[in-house]
Structure 1
Amino acid sequence: MEGKEEDVKLGANKFSERQPIGTSAQSDSKDYKEPPPAPFFEPGELSSWSFYRAGIAEFIATFLFLYISVLTVMGVVKSPTKCGTVGIQGIAWAFGGMIFALVYCTAGISVSFSANPLCFPFYLFKFAEYVYMVLVKTGGHINPAVTWGLLLARKLSVTRALFYMVMQCLGAICGAGVVKGFMGKNQFNTLGGGANVVAHGYTKGDGLGAEIIGTFVLVYTVFSATDAKRSARDSHVPILAPLPIGFAVFLVHLATIPITGTGINPARSLGAAIIYNKKHAWDDHWVFWVGPFIGATLAALYHVIVIRAIPFKSRS
């Protein structure tokens, strides 16, 4: 046995590891540099076409998001038997799948890919880095809570954040309006209009807590999936950032649809509430603004202070 132990010891030490297991997260990548914080106010943005192009992208993306998601909800509610519909799981997939697709599409706003097909693998491996750049600078939020979280983390200016939120809300209103136009006013109102309300059997406090935690999961995933340090450290891995974001939306919907119908997106809740416009929807509406903004705030603080410890790094 002693001989075998010696062999094992020799074999373990003969060849050193290029990267010890478990230390990747603690080591700084050579090609990584902390992005500088965005200015509080950037007047030059107002004269830039990319600024308005990103706002238009937010409008269109949120419009399509509401159209598909609310129409899916309407189809499930309309059917007399849930076995004949996609059910709660299908609703969750509609929300999560659309976020995945729209973030993926919006990520191409300001990225110029090489025409040389030999460069494709390089761009595939660097896709996470591109998505990070686009998400924090040119759109792809599709959610005022996500925009708020990134604003707190100094990833975009107040001007851009406010513009995004306005365009997101307008897009959501138009998306829900198109669904109502397709279904007709009477049928749309009878089926609830896809509006978020706290379900019977739950208190407003329950709904608020569900929205806070659900939005925390979403925004924390956004920060993690678009972290520039992770993109640099794991550049050899083709990470597709929209996938974990969409999957987080899907999972949160599975958990909270029975409680609040799942908001975690103030624009989505506002668009449906305005088009539906019934008293009981407005009674609970504050939950779907306060909850997501608290959840996004906690996620931003957790990522910046605990996970990345950026304030402590700046002091050293």
Structure 2
Amino acid sequence: MKKYVAEIFGTFWLVFGGCGSAVLSAAFPEVGIGLLGVSLAFGLTVLTMAYAIGHISGCHLNPAVSIGLWAGGRFPANQLVPYILAQMIGGVLAGGVLYLIASGKAGFDLSAGFASNGYGAHSPGGYSMMAALITEIVLTMMFLLVILGSTDERAPQGMAPIAIGLCLTLIHLISIPVTNTSVNPARSLGVALYVGDWALAQLWLFWAAPITGGLLGAGIYRYLGSKD
């Protein structure tokens, strides 16, 4: 049970820290942290939680990661559903706390996006659904390659959280203009649930694409990392 609770807290931190930086700090007058700051915030949430709960739950914080680790032979199938449910709970709780904070400012408007992921008219850069799909699949695939490679018993020990956190930072630097960056269905759900409307209508892509990418990354690493 402690593993599932750890995943709730870990995913809460990822969504609250990452999306919170986007909603509260990205464009703050004169001292906003911008795209670079938001990207770094997401990376730091994973880095800090990997050291905090990695030894308890493995610090997945992401249904696509859990599914990818299962496909890569690193995670038992019978724990997949509880992990994913815990991640969803953590994401939704984080979205709720962030909403309570953000709505305390005059002029707050959920329709501005609330850090939700989107494509077409709801892509920050106006990118198409196909562009969003390809972006999310490819980047989640690379994320799983980094996760599986850096946590391999043959890799330098103790360095995996740094590699994974920096990888997530890089992923955001690439893709915030395209989709606002998901690569994580729980992160997408956590804020889309409060926006409703278009955010929920487009949520399917931010489940389907990261899971597909996670499976691809796992399959590639099973080939590259095999010892025979």
Shift, 1:66, TM fit: 1.1
- Where do 1:270-281 residues align within 5 Å? 270-277=189-196, 279-281=197-199
**Larger deviation: 187-196 or 165-174?**
187-196
Distance across 1 between alignment mates of 2:46 and 2:59: 9
Deviations 1:64-111 (A, max 9, x none): 1111111111124553x5x530000000000001111111111243xx
- Where do 1:73-88 residues align within 5 Å? 73-76=22-25, 79=28, 84-88=31-35
Contact kept in structure 1, 2:71 and 2:215, CA below 8 Å: yes
1:285 corresponds to which letter in structure 2? L
Give the equivalent residue in structure 1 for 2:69: 150
Match of 1:160 among 79, 85, 88: 79
Q: Does 1:241 align with 2:160?
A: yes
Distance across 2 between alignment mates of 1:295 and 1:224: 16
Contact kept in structure 2, 1:195 and 1:272, CA below 8 Å: yes
The 1:89/1:190 distance shift into structure 2, 3 A limit, reads same
Give the equivalent residue in structure 2 for 1:195: 116
Give the equivalent residue in structure 2 for 1:65: 14
Please tell me the root mean square deviation across aligned C-alpha atoms, in Å. 1.8
Distance across 2 between alignment mates of 1:86 and 1:257: 14
Distance across 2 between alignment mates of 1:191 and 1:102: 29
Hey, which bits of structure 1, 4+ residues long, moved more than 6 A?
A: none
Shift, 1:155, TM fit: 1.7
Match of 1:215 among 136, 140, 145: 140
Higher Rg of the two aligned structures? 1
Distance across 1 between alignment mates of 2:94 and 2:208: 23
Distance across 2 between alignment mates of 1:143 and 1:150: 11
Shift, 1:168, TM fit: 0.2
Q: Does 1:103 align with 2:50?
A: yes
Normalising by structure 2, we get a TM-score of 0.91
The 1:290/1:189 distance shift into structure 2, 3 A limit, reads same
SS in 2 for 1:84: coil
SS in 2 for 1:195: coil
SS in 1 for 2:5: helix
Give the equivalent residue in structure 1 for 2:203: 285
Deviations 1:183-205 (A, max 9, x none): 22871514421111121531100
Contact kept in structure 2, 1:211 and 1:295, CA below 8 Å: yes
Contact kept in structure 1, 2:111 and 2:195, CA below 8 Å: no
Shift, 1:288, TM fit: 0.7
Q: Unpaired runs of 5+ in structure 1?
A: 1-51, 110-137
Q: Does 1:169 align with 2:118?
A: no
Give the equivalent residue in structure 2 for 1:308: 225
Contact kept in structure 1, 2:144 and 2:217, CA below 8 Å: yes
Distance across 2 between alignment mates of 1:195 and 1:216: 21
The 1:212/1:180 distance shift into structure 2, 3 A limit, reads same
Q: Does 1:183 align with 2:130?
A: no
2:15 corresponds to which letter in structure 1? L
Q: How many residues align?
A: 222
Deviations 1:288-308 (A, max 9, x none): 111101111111000002x12
1:97 corresponds to which letter in structure 2? L
Shift, 1:282, TM fit: 2.2
Shift, 1:53, TM fit: 0.6
Normalising by structure 1, we get a TM-score of 0.67
> RCO greater where, 1 or 2, for CA within 8 Å and sep 6 or more?
2
Q: Unpaired runs of 5+ in structure 2?
A: none
